[in-house]
Amino acid sequence: MISSSDNRLLFILDLLPKEIIFTIFDFLWAHDILYSFLNISNYFNNILLTYQNYHVNFKSILKQQFDLVCRFIQPNQITSLVLSDSNETPSQSKTFLSLFPIEKFINLRAITLSDIENDCHSLFFNIRQLKYLNYFETDTLSHLWMIETISRLKQLIINKYADNDYNHESLLHSISFSHLRNLTLPYCSYVQLRQILSCASKLTSLNISLIISDCTGIDYFAEQHQETPLIVNHLTMSIQTFTWYVEYNTDDFILYTIPRFVPRTTKHSLLSILPHSTTLPVEQYSIYYDQINELELDSNDKSSYRYTNVQRLILSITKINENIIDLSKVEYLCVKSLSWPLKKLFQIIKTSMTSLYHLKIDFSFSMIQLSDNIYPLEQIRIIDLPQFSCSFKNDNIDLSSLFPCIERLTIGINSLHQMTDIIDRFMHLSSGSFHIMNDHTDINYILTETDTIYKWLIEKTNRLARNRSFTYRLDSRSDIWIHLWISSESTTPEKVLNKMLSGEQLMELRETNGQHNCSRCCSLQ
């Protein structure tokens, strides 16, 4: 902060031209922009309201961040949008598009749909009205009806084929490929590929898995000639090939070939290097191990090398030799060994795993031994306890005191009471997936109607009674799962809380900047 001539404090970033700030914003997600810059100054508030190129990514987003975006950003300010109805964010697309109908996103250029619930398809019917939309990404062919009439599509990505997608393959024939430059398909037949190549004259990038059942198909495809040759700059096909890259030793002035297919995931007991697979000398083999980012420690074998870049670690033994692994880079830890004393494990996490934020304890355990634990793990944001219901004498243990900053939780439980207790205790919890292993008789009465579940959750939990901004999904196809997406009860960051714009202030600013007011923007406040 610096002093101005009229005795007002001037925020130093206010000296930046808005064009530079707009350029910075172009590289950030919308929720990160709002979290970082909202209410730091009036100048920035005006910039946030006039910025017209927000990239909104709601995949795995915390409910609190989702609510903030919905309160502040208008649909005409959004140019790219990612929606996801995954277990972490159930009913997200329905919640968002009930506030802002799809046709209101008049400047939208790109949309990505992930795990969209089947009963939400009608909400996307007017997507065809978006005249600037040229990027469409999804995880099922069944969504292609949305873009049948969009002739200016430049990029189409189908990440995977869902169940029964074979019933929707004909939708590929209805898509306009005339402007398409980038295409990704999980798989296609040689007949489909031939049709695509004949229609997509501007294609420059193709990523496919080609299905050819016999040599006849290969011969038939090879005999076809493209009337207008394509200039494809990027081609990826699922053919098993070996590629290499070169390592240069500056001391010896020697080039070594190193297989690019060196494993990134391995078990400690299995990893070995075949001498014929590389010209690299034995003393340089550490280059191989530097490539590994996911490791299962399944033996105590001594090693002359050290894993330096492991980010995901699976423990199947009860001892960690820190001489063979750098624990400081581990972000995800899965503990499988039944013999691990949790207090010892927590101490290792606290002192050596400074980057760890995701913990999975994949065995039944007793937390009685942690009753005097002095190592609460504030760094853990995601925790998976699939066998918690099999653990004994844990009903009266407060998990939230051991993991006070949990935002995402997956847990097996014995009773609905355990679920409600966890919801009330974990104040930062945004996404919770509860696998109800027992108590099926008692739960049947709340499974009869959707409204009954909603009312029951409000009645039985203090937190959801106070703040009803939550969504849920009940999955009872085999086992019973309840997935919740909840607004955090934690304190909003001070710079936002103390200066948060009221609904009236927000509308006043929009009027000042010539923006249309929408009461729904403030409905979540």
**pLDDT value of position 447:** 62
Q: What single string gives the DSSP state of each residue in 417-480?
A: HHHHHHHHH-TT--EEEEEE-S-HHHHGGGSS-HHHHHHHHHHH-HHHHH---EEEEEE-SSSE
Q: Provide the pLDDT confidence category of residue 376 given band limits of 50, 70 and 90.
A: confident
**pLDDT value of position 10:** 56
For the chain, the structural domain boundaries read: 13-133, 364-502
Pairwise CA distance, residues 71 & 500, whole Å: 11
Question: Does pLDDT of 105 surpass 50?
Answer: yes
Q: Provide the pLDDT confidence category of residue 278 given band limits of 50, 70 and 90.
A: low
Instruction: Kindly state the average pLDDT of the residues 428-447.
Output: 78
Higher-scoring residue by pLDDT: 58, 490: 58
Question: Does pLDDT of 357 surpass 80?
Answer: yes
Angle, CA of 222, 223 and 229, to the nearest 5°: 80
Least confident of 114-128, 199-213, 426-440: 199-213
Helix (H) or strand (E) holding 495: helix 494-497
Higher-scoring residue by pLDDT: 47, 324: 47
Most confident among 159-168, 241-250, 443-452 (mean pLDDT): 159-168
Instruction: Kindly state the average pLDDT of the residues 128-139.
Output: 95
**pLDDT value of position 161:** 78
**pLDDT value of position 335:** 93
**pLDDT value of position 364:** 83
Do 472 and 483 contact (CB within 8 A), yes or no? yes
Q: Provide the pLDDT confidence category of residue 476 given band limits of 50, 70 and 90.
A: confident
Do 159 and 138 contact (CB within 8 A), yes or no? yes
Q: Around Cβ 301, how many Cβ atoms within 10 Å? A: 10
Instruction: Tell me phi and psi for residue 98, to 5 degrees.
Output: -75, -25
Q: Provide the pLDDT confidence category of residue 478 given band limits of 50, 70 and 90.
A: confident
Pairwise CA distance, residues 252 & 201, whole Å: 49
Do 72 and 85 contact (CB within 8 A), yes or no? no
Pairwise CA distance, residues 280 & 255, whole Å: 9
Higher-scoring residue by pLDDT: 434, 265: 434
**pLDDT value of position 37:** 93
The model's pTM is 0.81
Instruction: Kindly state the average pLDDT of the residues 343-372.
Output: 85
Q: Pick the closest to residue 403 from 362, 361, 437, 445 (CA basis).
A: 361
Question: Does pLDDT of 275 surpass 80?
Answer: no
**pLDDT value of position 519:** 32
High-pLDDT (> 70) share of the chain, %: 72
Pairwise CA distance, residues 257 & 255, whole Å: 7
Question: Does pLDDT of 203 surpass 50?
Answer: yes
**pLDDT value of position 353:** 95
Q: Give residue-wise pLDDT tens across range 58-92.
A: 999 999 999 999 999 999 999 999 999 999 999 99
Higher-scoring residue by pLDDT: 224, 499: 224
- Report the half-sphere exposure of 523 (CA within 13 A, side-chain side): 11
Q: Provide the pLDDT confidence category of residue 525 given band limits of 50, 70 and 90.
A: very low
Most confident among 26-30, 275-279, 280-284 (mean pLDDT): 26-30
Q: Pick the closest to residue 114 from 88, 153, 149 (CA basis).
A: 88
Mean pLDDT estimate for the chain: 80
Question: Does pLDDT of 160 surpass 90?
Answer: no
High-pLDDT (> 90) share of the chain, %: 42
Do 525 and 71 contact (CB within 8 A), yes or no? yes
Question: Does pLDDT of 174 surpass 60?
Answer: yes
From residue 49, how far is each of 43, 80, 277, 357 by CA, in Å? 10, 17, 58, 34
Question: Does pLDDT of 217 surpass 80?
Answer: no
Question: Does pLDDT of 505 surpass 80?
Answer: no
Q: Provide the pLDDT confidence category of residue 475 given band limits of 50, 70 and 90.
A: confident
Q: Around Cβ 513, how many Cβ atoms within 10 Å? A: 13
Question: Does pLDDT of 436 surpass 90?
Answer: no
Question: Does pLDDT of 494 surpass 60?
Answer: no
Most confident among 56-65, 278-287, 499-508 (mean pLDDT): 56-65
Q: Provide the pLDDT confidence category of residue 440 given band limits of 50, 70 and 90.
A: low
Most confident among 248-252, 307-311, 394-398 (mean pLDDT): 307-311
Q: Provide the pLDDT confidence category of residue 441 given band limits of 50, 70 and 90.
A: low
Helix (H) or strand (E) holding 509: helix 503-512
Higher-scoring residue by pLDDT: 368, 297: 297
Instruction: List b or e across 12-30, with b for residues whose CB sees 16 or more CB atoms inside 10 angstroms.
Output: eebeeeeeebeeebeeebb
**pLDDT value of position 243:** 41
